[in-house]
Amino acid sequence: SKESVRSKRAKRPRAPSISDYRPEPKQNLDEPRDDQQPVDIPPGFLSPSVREYLELGRSIPGRPGTDYPILSAIPYTNFYCDDQPYPGFFADMDTRCQ
């Protein structure tokens, strides 16, 4: 029957050939950044809320991932501000945060 022949002939995924391999582009993530050069963005390309968000990011000192962690969610740790005997700034060593 035709259906039994079709079920036996399943397509196998084709492995990419060596000639199709392209190395990932270099992103220079460990290189020092030159934050003094603004990127030219056409007027009206970004909404006012996106512009405000980007300006907020520029006002935070330090480099994300180096000077402070990049977290998608705040993890639970054993650190509690209420447990500290004195007011002030404290470091949470589990999350590398202040």
pLDDT tens for 20-58 read 667 776 766 666 666 556 667 777 888 888 888 888 878
- The pTM score is 0.34
Say what the pLDDT of residue 83 is.
83
Specify whether the CB–CB gap between 75 and 82 falls below 8 A: no
Q: What is the model's pLDDT at position 36?
A: 56
CA 84 from chain centre, in angstroms, equals 32
How large is the average pLDDT for residues 51-72? 81
Cα separation, 86 vs 25, in Å, equals 49
